[in-house]
């Protein structure tokens, strides 16, 4: 079974600084997808970024980028120029080929200090 591990229950960053959230996963599949979802206090689950395992290039979305290390089964999220609105719980998630369930990590609570 696939597992996702986030080893940092809490992280904090100063506004305008950069922070990296860690995630490792375990799978025997070769074709899969990795995601970072953000859950602010409103509890809405918001997709931040997505990585396809067959793509070597790391995904980027504005201030958000990932460091995908397939051999190490590592998928970290870097947030640049942190903003107060980035404060939220961040979940790393794995899914197999198209149309399959998401397996989530435990989450990392990110605090942004002004």
Partner 1 sequence: DSGVTQTPKHLITATGQRVTLRCSPRSGDLSVYWYQQSLDQGLQFLIQYYNGEERAKGNILERFSAQQFPDLHSELNLSSLELGDSALYFCASSVDDQAGKNIQYFGAGTRLSVL
Burial 15-39 (b: 16+ CB within 10 A, else e): eeeebebbbbbebeeeebbbbbbbe
Q: Are 3 and 103 in contact (CB under 8 A)?
A: yes
Q: State yes or no: residue 55 binds partner 1 (CB under 8 A).
A: no
Of residues 68-97, those binding partner 1 (CB under 8 A): 91, 95, 97
Q: State yes or no: residue 103 binds partner 1 (CB under 8 A).
A: yes
CB nearer to partner 1: pick between 6 and 82:
6
Of positions 50, 70, 73, 78, contacts partner 1 by CB under 8 A: 50
Of positions 43, 71, 72, 85, contacts partner 1 by CB under 8 A: 43
Q: Are 33 and 51 in contact (CB under 8 A)?
A: yes
For residue 105, the minimal CB distance to partner 1 (Å) is 8
- The site for partner 1 (CB under 8 A) is made up of 33, 37, 42-47, 50, 91, 95, 97-104, 106-107
């Amino acid at each position: 079974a696939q597992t996702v591990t986030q080893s940092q229950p809490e992280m904090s960053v100063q506004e305008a600084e950069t922070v990296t959230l860690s995630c490792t996963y375990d799978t025997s599949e070769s074709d899969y997808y990795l995601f970072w979802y953000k859950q602010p206090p409103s509890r809405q689950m918001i997709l931040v970024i997505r990585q396809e395992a067959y793509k070597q290039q790391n995904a980027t979305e504005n201030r958000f980028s990932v460091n995908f290390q397939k051999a190490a089964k590592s998928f970290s999220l870097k947030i640049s120029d942190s903003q107060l609105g980035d404060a939220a719980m961040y979940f790393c998630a794995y899914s197999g080929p198209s149309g399959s369930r998401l397996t989530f990590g435990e989450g990392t609570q990110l605090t942004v200090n002004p």
